[in-house]
Amino acid sequence: MEFTKPIKLGTLELKNRVVMAPVKTGYSTIDGQVTNELVQYYVNRAKGGVGLIVLESAYVDPSGKEIPRQLGIYDDSMVEGLRRLIAPLQEAGSKVAVYINHAGRVANTMATKLPLIAPSSVACPSIGVEPQAIPHDEIKKWQRAYIDAAIRAYKAGADALEIQFGHGYLIHQFLSPHTNKREDEYGGSFENRIRFGIEILEGIQKEIGRNFPIIVRISANEFLPDGWTLEDAIKLAKILEKKGVQAIDVSLGSMCEFAPVTMQTLGTNKGQSWEYASKIKKELDIPVIAVGRINSPELAEEILSSDKADLVALGRPLVADPLFIEKAVSGRTKEIRRCLACHQGCFDELRGGRRFGCNINPSVGKEDEIEIPKSPTPGKKVVIIGAGPAGLEAAYTAALRGHKVTLYDENEEMGGQLISASIPPHKEELKGIVEYYKEVLPKVGVEIKLGHRVTPKELAKWEADEIVFATGGQPIVPTIPGLKEHGYLTAVEVLKEGKEAGDTVAIIGGGLIGMETADYLSQKGKKVMVIELLEEVARDMGVFEKNLLMKRLKERDVEIYVKTKLKEVNNALVTETEEGEKKLPLPDIIVLAVGVKPEASLYEEAKKILPEDKLHVIGDAKQVRKIVHAISEGRALGLSL
């Protein structure tokens, strides 16, 4: 395998070509200090065999952080904590790079309680606050913040340093003509715009020496008419190489104008960043790192063997499965929990002020993440009804705990709502988690019985020690005059069962399922309208994914009506709005996506004939929520048995 081959970054030798890309976790203290939780999280990744771990973004000044509990490196008091973080990762076999940054105009003022700074007073659209232009006499102060941070990383025992020159953060804001409107020697020409970052690099080398490996992350293209271009990136990369930088980490976009591209959200062009890395690699002699949705060993091999890059960086794929490399090397690639690029369990949870985690890995950030402990009382007969995400994870966990597990589902294939969820455009990778369970469940001894509808009589005969009801949910069908007579389909029937929806479609309900159904049908050339009772559609989607989806729907002329209620169906769709009654054209078919209700009827029957202490309800059968909650609940239930 190409990614298992060693490589040198200057004097630093890595055992393989896999880099753990920086991903903010929120596991630090409010002051940016290292915690035991943070240490264990990274130790679990080092155990998986990563050649180089680039720690999450460490802010060089309190004014430059993005999330409340972000790793800091702005004070000498942080050196000891960083040393406590770095040493065990090195002991586990990984080299460690500290990654330093100041967010500039992208900083979170709610977290910092400080003014935004930037080269010029150009606001970030996603922040909406105009930053203060850095006065000329304060330039050295901000450069010094980076230099002092680098010294702290060196003192903490880091093997290397990575400096953020991209993603629309402070140094990039100096680089880009879109954000740099200065008229002094730090603005205007290309040479002036790169001066701020180059002087930081030179200052670090002066203090630490040129033998300490430095990696620079750049954005290869900003995708703005007046922004940073590939030609600019190549020129900068050549200068950085001459200045003694040991590797270039190539990414894309800006967290302000093109965050979905930067984050490689579902709906973006997978592989685009690797192609840019390839173009830059052709111009350099130092190693180039490619990043962006490299969620399988096959992709890593393709990138390296085709000479697009010298190393591959995996961020969220190593969140989803810390043993990614170990499984790949040992020939167990199908056992990898492959990142879905959904950002729901990680970025969206963190952005919403909740705990950083993962949709498909419920153990993220926990000490027992690598190994599920055996039960003190193994050998229980466990029956799980429902092979959706909750049931699948419960079966896997219970079997690893040492129990005898039988999994039933009335459908001919496992996956539950994951099947219909994987049908809309750009959601294909959701199938990966189903394929994972298909691979691992037989290996841990789970007996799988599909196409079997369990009856209450069977439950009474089984004499199971534990029965788990993961029976999912059922689409809600509202009572609307004329609806039944006109005819309707549910979103699940359209997506999962492929039922034909006609040329004109009205989707009732503008939540995640409704909007993804609109995306699916409009891509097929259908004329689609969406009717939503609340004032906002897609409110339960992640911000980046939602922005891309809304852009696609606008391009396809999908009509969206908010604060609108469907009252009646006759020779038109009679709706109620704030302005009064409004009639909309009658479509060929009405698709219902107004929500899902728990399907727990079998559990209710079971309670009449079996002791309740051996009955358990999880997932949507208990309460309709997201995949992350279903899988987490399945894991928790499995651990409790």
Q: What is the arithmetic mean of pLDDT over 142-157?
A: 98
Contacts of residue 623, Cβ cutoff 8 Å, sequence gap at least 6: 598
Per-residue pLDDT tens digits for 495-545: 988 888 789 999 999 999 999 999 999 999 999 999 999 999 999 888 888
Q: Are 339 and 295 in contact (CB under 8 A)?
A: yes
Q: What is the arithmetic mean of pLDDT over 345-370?
A: 86
- 460 pLDDT higher than 90: no
408 catalytic? Reply is no
The pLDDT score that the predictor gives to residue 467 is: 98
The structural domains of the chain, with segments of one domain joined by +, span 2-351, 381-475+597-640, 483-594
Strands 466-469 and 504-508: unpaired
Burial of 108: CB neighbours in 10 Å, binned 0-12, 13-18, 19+: middle
CATH superfamily of 483-594: FAD/NAD(P)-binding domain (3.50.50.60)
Interatomic CA distance for residues 297 and 325, integer angstroms: 8
- 1 pLDDT higher than 90: no
Q: Give, in words, the CATH class of 381-475+597-640.
A: alpha beta
Interatomic CA distance for residues 484 and 482, integer angstroms: 6
Residue that wins the pLDDT comparison between 40 and 367: 40
Residue type, 28: S
Tokens of 235: 């020129």
The pLDDT score that the predictor gives to residue 34 is: 98
Burial of 542: CB neighbours in 10 Å, binned 0-12, 13-18, 19+: buried
Instruction: Please tell me what DSSP assigns to residue 537.
Output: S
Residue that wins the pLDDT comparison between 545 and 314: 314
Q: Are 173 and 224 in contact (CB under 8 A)?
A: no
Tokens of 219: 């954005």
Q: What is the arithmetic mean of pLDDT over 243-255?
A: 97
- 368 pLDDT higher than 80: no
Q: What is the CA radius of gyration of the chain?
A: 27
The pLDDT score that the predictor gives to residue 191 is: 98
Q: Which CATH architecture has domain 2-351?
A: Alpha-Beta Barrel (3.20)
The pLDDT score that the predictor gives to residue 343 is: 85
The pLDDT score that the predictor gives to residue 269 is: 86
Per-residue pLDDT tens digits for 15-37: 999 999 999 999 999 999 999 99
The pLDDT score that the predictor gives to residue 26 is: 95
Edge-to-edge strand list for the sheet holding 565-569? 565-569, 573-577, 580-584
Per-residue pLDDT tens digits for 74-113: 999 999 999 999 999 999 999 999 999 999 999 999 999 9
The pLDDT score that the predictor gives to residue 367 is: 74
- Quickly count: other Cβ atoms within 10 Å of residue 503's Cβ: 12
Tokens of 106: 């992208």
Active-site residue among 41, 154, 169, 408? 169
- Residue 332 CA to its chain's centroid (Å): 23
- When pLDDT is cut at 50, 70 and 90, the band that residue 260 belongs to is confident
Contacts of residue 259, Cβ cutoff 8 Å, sequence gap at least 6: 126, 253, 544
Interatomic CA distance for residues 600 and 622, integer angstroms: 7
The pLDDT score that the predictor gives to residue 178 is: 98
The pLDDT score that the predictor gives to residue 496 is: 86
Q: What is the arithmetic mean of pLDDT over 159-186?
A: 98
| Closest listed residue to residue 58, CA positions, set 174, 146, 175, 131 | 146
- 371 pLDDT higher than 90: no
The pLDDT score that the predictor gives to residue 543 is: 83
Provide the sign of the torsion angle of the four alpha carbons 413, 470, 345, 515, taken in this order: positive
The pLDDT score that the predictor gives to residue 557 is: 97
- 118 pLDDT higher than 90: yes
H or E stretch at 577: strand 573-577
Tokens of 259: 């965050």
- 588 pLDDT higher than 90: yes
Residue that wins the pLDDT comparison between 368 and 100: 100
Tokens of 602: 């079998």
- Quickly count: other Cβ atoms within 10 Å of residue 295's Cβ: 25
- Quickly count: other Cβ atoms within 10 Å of residue 134's Cβ: 21
Q: State the average pLDDT for the chain.
A: 95
- 488 pLDDT higher than 80: yes
The pLDDT score that the predictor gives to residue 267 is: 84
The pLDDT score that the predictor gives to residue 83 is: 98
- When pLDDT is cut at 50, 70 and 90, the band that residue 469 belongs to is very high
The pLDDT score that the predictor gives to residue 362 is: 93
Residue that wins the pLDDT comparison between 355 and 532: 532
Query: Distances in Å between the alpha carbon of 98 and those of 54, 146, 492?
Result: 6, 12, 46
Question: What is the distance between the terminal CA atoms of the chain, rounded to a whole angstrom?
Answer: 40
Helix/strand/coil (H/E/C) assignment for every residue in 361-414? CCCCCCCCCCCCCCCCCCCCEEEEECCCHHHHHHHHHHHHCCCEEEEEECCCCC
